[in-house]
A and B are shown apart, each in its own frame.
Chain A
Amino acid sequence: MRKLLFESLIRPPLTERAPQVSDAAVDELARALDSVARKRLGRSLSIRAIDAGSCNGCELEMHALNNAFYDIERFGFRFVASPRHADVLMVTGPVTKNMREALKRTWDATPNPKWVVALGDCAKDGGCFAGSYAVVGGVSDVVPVDLHIPGCPPPPIDILKGLIALLEGANGTVGASLG
């Protein structure tokens, strides 16, 4: 273990500037996200993930945001364990009828101001599951949605882009839910 830890000290980090993963897009996005987040929220935004019926694909890419490449926490974004600690609810899946009540209650338990991000194609309108006897539809059919991030599932980089858009729009449409 000492060797691994030592290596971590002397090796360049994977995140951002590491040449072997140098992804110009991530780098640029990272800087943009940093400045916007700081301005709006003073470096802190807590996200609570809710799977309202997804296939689990979106959850996998949400997990990826925590890995060393994307390292979402460096921007002050973090996933929290309770809706009561959250600023943003990130909801995935077509909302199933069996999850409708749980989603509503989780939204109710989240203090204002709050934002809702609908993540993935299914979260928009039910996607390929729309029309099923067991599916309500998109997230906005149950709770108000501030932003939709498309994709099946959206890659981590798109989720980061979406979060920027959310913060940039925080004075506009989102303002309504700030009260």
Chain B
Amino acid sequence: MPALTDLIEAGRPAEHHAPWRRAVVAPKVWNLAVEQLAGGRWSLLGLWGEPDRVHMALLDEARDIGVISLDCRGGRYPSVGQYHPPALRLERAAADLFGLAPQGLPDTRRWLDHGQWGISHPLAAQPGKPAARSSYRFLAAEGDSLHQIAVGPVHAGIIEPGHFRFTASGETVVRLEERLGYVHKGIEGLMAGAPVDRAARLAGRTSGDSTVAYSLAFARAVEAALGVAPPPRAMWLRALMAELERLANHLGDIGAICNDAAFALMHAHCGVLRERVLRAADAAFGHRLMRDRVVPGGVAGDLGEAGTSAIRSLVAEIRQRFPHLVELYDNTASLQDRTVATGRLKVELARQYAAGGYVGRASGRDFDARRNAVYAPYDELAFDVPVLQEGDVNARVWIRVREVEQSLSLVEQMLGRLPAGSIRADIAAADNVADGPREGMALVEGFRGDILAWLRIGEGGLIERCHLRDPSWFQWPLLEAAIEGNIIADFPLCNKSFNCSYSGHDL
């Protein structure tokens, strides 16, 4: 059984790639890696293209991380998705953006390209003429008395756009197929050739609810590439913001899931706590969502005494009120009736798709980037990673509940031990690339799961290529599986319990 490090050593190593290694490998080695994925021994962390090359970030059995790259002669490479389905949509996306053709890919429909851009393969060396418009062929579902329900892209609530095609037999969902890409903004295209600070602003606007996590992932990738270490205080403040973001999102989600089971009381109370978090974040960091507060090199502003006390009273209030809400959730039979055994995601699927966050951890996947790809200051903090096996809506609620408790503890620990000192280091991007382009990568645990950022900084300190992989890439397909056999009225509940990102996925 090969280890990832053997494969990387068999290839031609990229000179400046940090903190994990990258190597350009031969097709044979590439296929060997695909075999490990297909055999369920390794996990796929990401797959992205460049005009003449395709990259794959991998996690092996020993939880070692690395990237292998394959040169695409004539724009072709052997498809990973044909043997390892989690790669399917990533390959379709890379095909749309770069014109890379995965050989053997069973699904060649366009994914992000809806025929509206006016060009095709916008990120290829030579973008092409627009492909002929054709209607999207949804997968067939055949049988007696089946009917289809089309939902979206504009949904009924205050939600992001996407299309869901249900095939139902009576009330029971036989098949759900998602069609995404509606909010594709071309973020990776805008980043190419951009200075680091502009790219950082784009990264922070990839998925609004995870703006801290994205900014952090991008900043850490830049710092890894350039070999810059931010001051300790900056690292701690970043983690503090990340935990506040997790708190706000989990509290909002717990309420919203209950609301989708028509239990508005939880929604109202959780909404109050969420608002408290946003107000404390505003008082402490000057922005309710803490946007643009994490920057390459450190953080944009320091935490003062007023901010510290705002966070302290926030923690005190949540500690006082949240347990009552948890009790309410746990003791309301009508609510439990909706969430228990609904939208069950199998443990095997969560493992195969390397599902991150509460989706994976509610289905037995014990992975958290804060612990498994540890970064400062989490190596100095005490926290548990809750894991459940049931995989239903209820389990995804409970993972969030436990993570709220863990985040409160983390916030308290950080406030108690916040190091003093400066908050920002100069990244001097242009000077640091004097000896050639440098590549960096980061894996950051957002509230939704692990976000991967990979980038190369080239001449003049400009971003040559940046890829951001949202956790939703490996969660959206699982929602299709989890809803099967459930009644259609439970879809909002299941969907909210996954709470996948549209914008983060569509880029």
Residues of A that sit less than 8 Å from B by CB: 1, 3-5, 14, 49-64, 66-69, 79, 81-83, 93-94, 96-102, 106, 128-129, 131-135, 152-153, 155
Contacts and interface: CB of A to CB of B under 8 A. Distances in A.
Interface residues of B, number: 54
A135 B201 contact: no
B116 A97 contact: yes
A14 B279 CA distance: 14
B206 A55 contact: yes
Overall SS of chain B's interface = loop
Nearest to B291: A152
Interface of B: 114, 116-119, 122, 127, 153-154, 156-161, 181-187, 189-190, 198, 201-202, 205-209, 211, 252, 265, 268-269, 271-272, 274-275, 278, 282, 288-289, 291, 324-325, 328, 331-332, 501-503
A96 B272 CA distance: 33
In the A-B complex, the 8 residue pairs with the smallest Cβ-Cβ separation, listed nearest first, are: A57-B208, A132-B186, A134-B186, A81-B156, A56-B208, A67-B271, A97-B116, A55-B208
Contacts of B211: 55, 57
Contacts of A135: 185-186
Nearest to B184: A134
B272 A14 contact: yes
A115 to B, nearest CB: 17
Contacts of B202: 128-129
Contact of A1 (B187, B205, B272, B332): B332
Nearest to B256: A63
A52 B274 CA distance: 25
A14 B207 CA distance: 30
B158 A59 contact: yes
A59 B271 contact: no
B275 A69 contact: yes
Contacts of A99: 153, 161, 182-183
B461 to A, nearest CB: 19
B158 A62 contact: yes
B189 A81 contact: no
A49 B160 CA distance: 10
24 contacts: A1-B332, A50-B154, A51-B160, A55-B205, A55-B207, A56-B501, A56-B503, A57-B205, A57-B289, A58-B208, A59-B159, A64-B275, A67-B268, A79-B158, A93-B183, A97-B118, A102-B153, A128-B202, A132-B186, A133-B186, A133-B189, A134-B185, A134-B186, A135-B185
A38 B385 CA distance: 51
Contact of A59 (B160, B185, B272): B160
Given A134-B122, A155-B288, A94 B153 contact: no
Most chain A C-beta atoms within 10 Å of own C-beta, residue among B116, B154, B278: B154
